[in-house]
Amino acid sequence: MPEHYLPSDIERTSFSIIRQELKEKGKTFPEMEASVVFRCIHATADFDYADLLHFSDGAISDAVHVLQGGCTIVTDTNMALAGISKVALKKLGCEAVCYMAEPAIAKRAEDQGITRAASAMDHAKETCPTGIRAVGNAPTALFRLADQIEQGLRPALIIAAPVGFVNVVESKNRILTVCRQYAIPIITVVGRKGGSTVCTAICNALLYEAAGMTDPSARGWN
């Protein structure tokens, strides 16, 4: 029979298990990085994320500061958008958006012969140039972001977590190189793994840190 029924109990117990298993593997993390690593493992049941997550210096503290001042998170999938905590967004005065399904984005992509993900990043450059970019699916979004940064865009943070086999590793390497060159904060998942679920987990870990909601009771959970 299940031992835990309430969402808050399930999350706390899951995090306790994750912490213990990481300890047994000899893996420890600074507190703020741990919150991201734990939440990614919690979302996937995959302990590989303890090794795959890369943080630029100060990326988490920079992101928390920006979120506490209110900012826009631009995602590349509506799946990621759906999972981002609306409670935390509201408390911080932030918003999350995804432009992928908008007809104007599709039209621009068709006219220019580019993907909708690249078109969406172009639109985001015009509407919220300093916001957070959270990419969990489309390598072409990362390639576009790299070009935009070289042209002067300065987003508050890049989350680079596409999943798959085609251009995924290449796009992550490209954005990581460019972010290092221009001192753009970045959190990336090295290699082929990632996805909208992981992207959402990273966003929520940052939001909960910024909003003081790391414990589920602070989110109104039983």
- Judged on CB neighbours under 10 Å (0-12, 13-18, 19+), 131 is buried
pLDDT of the residue at 123: 96
Specify if 24 maps to a domain. no
pLDDT of the residue at 10: 86
Q: What's the rounded mean pLDDT across residues 171-176?
A: 98
| Residue-number span of the structural domain to which 208 is assigned | 52-219
- Mean pLDDT lowest among 3-12, 89-98, 132-141: 3-12
Tally of structural domains, the chain = 1
pLDDT at 1 over 70: no
Q: What is the pLDDT of residues 29-58, one digit of tens each?
A: 998 899 999 999 999 999 999 999 999 999
Q: What's the rounded mean pLDDT across residues 194-202?
A: 98
Specify if 210 maps to a domain. yes
Specify if 167 maps to a domain. yes
8 A C-beta contact, residue 55 and residue 33: yes
pLDDT at 130 over 90: yes
Provide, rounded to the nearest whole percent, the portion of the chain with pLDDT above 90: 90
Confidence band (pLDDT; 50, 70, 90) for 116? very high
Q: What is the mean pLDDT of the chain?
A: 95
- Mean pLDDT lowest among 5-14, 17-26, 53-62: 5-14
Identify which has the larger pLDDT, 191 or 221.
191
Q: Calculate Rg over the CA atoms of the chain.
A: 17
pLDDT of the residue at 91: 96
Confidence band (pLDDT; 50, 70, 90) for 222? low
pLDDT of the residue at 4: 59
pLDDT at 2 over 70: no
pTM value? 0.95
Cα angle, residue 73 at apex, residues 149 and 115 outer, rounded to 5°: 60
pLDDT of the residue at 132: 98
Cβ count within 10 A of residue 150: 11
Specify if 65 maps to a domain. yes
* Strands of the sheet with 186-189, listed across from one edge: 53-55, 186-189, 157-160, 132-135, 72-75, 95-98
CA distances from 135 to 14, 175, 213 (A): 26, 11, 23
pLDDT of the residue at 117: 96
Specify if 41 maps to a domain. no
Specify if 83 maps to a domain. yes
Q: What's the rounded mean pLDDT across residues 191-216?
A: 96
Q: What's the rounded mean pLDDT across residues 189-218?
A: 96
Specify if 15 maps to a domain. no
Spatial distance between the Cα atoms of 212 and 50, rounded to a whole number of angstroms: 23
Specify if 29 maps to a domain. no
pLDDT at 7 over 80: no
Catalytic residue numbers read: 42
Query: CATH number, domain at 72?
Result: 3.40.50.10230
8 A C-beta contact, residue 164 and residue 140: no
